[in-house]
Chain A
Amino acid sequence: MAKPKIAFFDFASCEGDQLQIANLEERLLDILGHVEVVSFREVVTGHSDDYDVAFVEGSITRPEDEARLKEIRKNAKILVALGACATIGGINCLKNFQAENVYREEVYGAQARWFSTYSARPLKSVVKVDAEIHGCPIDPNEFARMTKELLQGRTPWIPDFPVCVECKQAGNVCRYEMGRMCLGIITRAGCKAACVTEGAHCWGCRGLAPGANLDAARIVMDRAGSDRKATQDLLRFFLGDTGAAL
């Protein structure tokens, strides 16, 4: 059987997710033994439009990005969104809360009109996405597991419960017990509560968990003493394209 052909693409992003894949090191060579990489611009010269699986990183931020993404969709049997910018719009959506002329002029001054841009959005608002690998950045282990499942023809599994479950397993003290804010209560798990374990709090980079109760979350945050501005800051950090952001 011919090896499946895979390709990597990116739109507005930091390319940190492709770096996470490069950081699999020796294990990357194992995976590469089972696939044929036809396009991975960050690491390999050469490119082909003949591929089965397309991994796409980054958000759509310009009208002209849509045509390119639709072309990728047409060529690929399976399109996988890679990382928060691609799955939920992520940090790029922060600019969506400012007027377009304001953020353009903030950066480009008088020349602002030279450059096209519109509200940042995830891939799924433009094309059908077959699988999503969440996170900012993605977890390389989850990438390896999900890619394996994809190659076996299965639908990759992703957790449908909130980060709190994994955070308890990691043995962390709840941030709310410490008088701090945390989005673990509404965010999809799968990261093993990485940020909380490192001393920070959950920022929501993996998107909302299915059935997340936003009203209850708001009450929890209010009761913990978060003012409206702080809650808004946190909900806009990654979740700007979801209904969660104020």
Chain B
Amino acid sequence: MKSLPERVMFTMGDIAAAEGALSAGCRYFGGYPITPATEIAEWMARRMPELRGAYVQYEDEIASITSVIGASWTGTKAMTATSGPGVSLMLEAIGLAVMTETPLVLVNIMRGGPSTGQPTRGQQGDIMQAKWGSHGDYQIIGLTPASVQEMFDQTVQAFNLAEKYRTPVFVLADETVGHMREKLVIPDEKDIKLVNRKQPTVDPSEYLPFKADDDLVPPMAVFGSKYQFYATGLTHDERGYPSDKENIQIDLITRLNDKILKNADDIIDLEKYQLDDAKIAVIAYGTPSRSARRAIAIAREEGIKAGLLRLKTVWPFPEEAVAELATEVDHIIVAEQNMGQIYHMVRSAGAPTPITLMRKPAGMPQLPEEIVQKIKEIDSQ
């Protein structure tokens, strides 16, 4: 008996992410149980065989993510989902995916850390880990959904970006977003825009597996095709062969970074709320952005010109948009469920405009009233 989902569901963010992945064409999930992301694995274990895909539960998170890289090299859209401790184990493999330009999606349902922390409480403590966790210089794409619907939509988006730019993509959802239940509308198949990785079209004898096109992304052959290739985590030339030459390292690392940075406008996704005439701007993402939206509405009722810049993507960081905002407002508040992570990026982009951090390293986000109070404080200065 098939458990085909309804087009309209009342469900939790974790399951919406799983359904988003399936709608995006994901047919391989390498899993390992961890609170608060287990529901994604459970849902995939049930749904994958119905769609002739595969769910495999591994012996650890390292095997989960590495199997995902292996599956992706067959041309299959593949993903895993975990939480902080699992991500910590997966970071080396993220570096390999960056270096071998392997499309994959990693959903991190962020819980309280460090270490085991508070497994059942949400936090946004893994934002910098997603960017900097693996060794070496690289860029990452990080999406930050704030609702059950966005868990679906942005997981689809995550696959599209992974395929388009041949890169690992993080969906960074705090536990509250992962576990909250809301209405989810699954669009008709024809209304979901899907992107698939570029495939080589040249004669197989001329195929250079790591020669990029003008968009800095090389077409990707799959295992078992007529295009033979060799992929390695070692620094490699356009043929894929290892090299210890300085110019090869510089060219490769520059291209891997630039393919994200130079396409940042295409990747970055922001929502502006009441910003047109705002004097005080709040920057937030995930659950705190929901509190912030309510706080802005209350402040506006009281005649304070406040607005919200909601980051639906945190990586690559929307530096230009924040810099521009900083010239338009008198003060920026950053509300994060951590000790201040994106705050540092905002500070670097927004200086010298004053920037105030509302930090909270715990499960309950900043409440609307707390943000209203901070807005009033700043407004009265």
- The finding on whether chains A and B are genuine partners in a shared complex, rather than unrelated, reads no
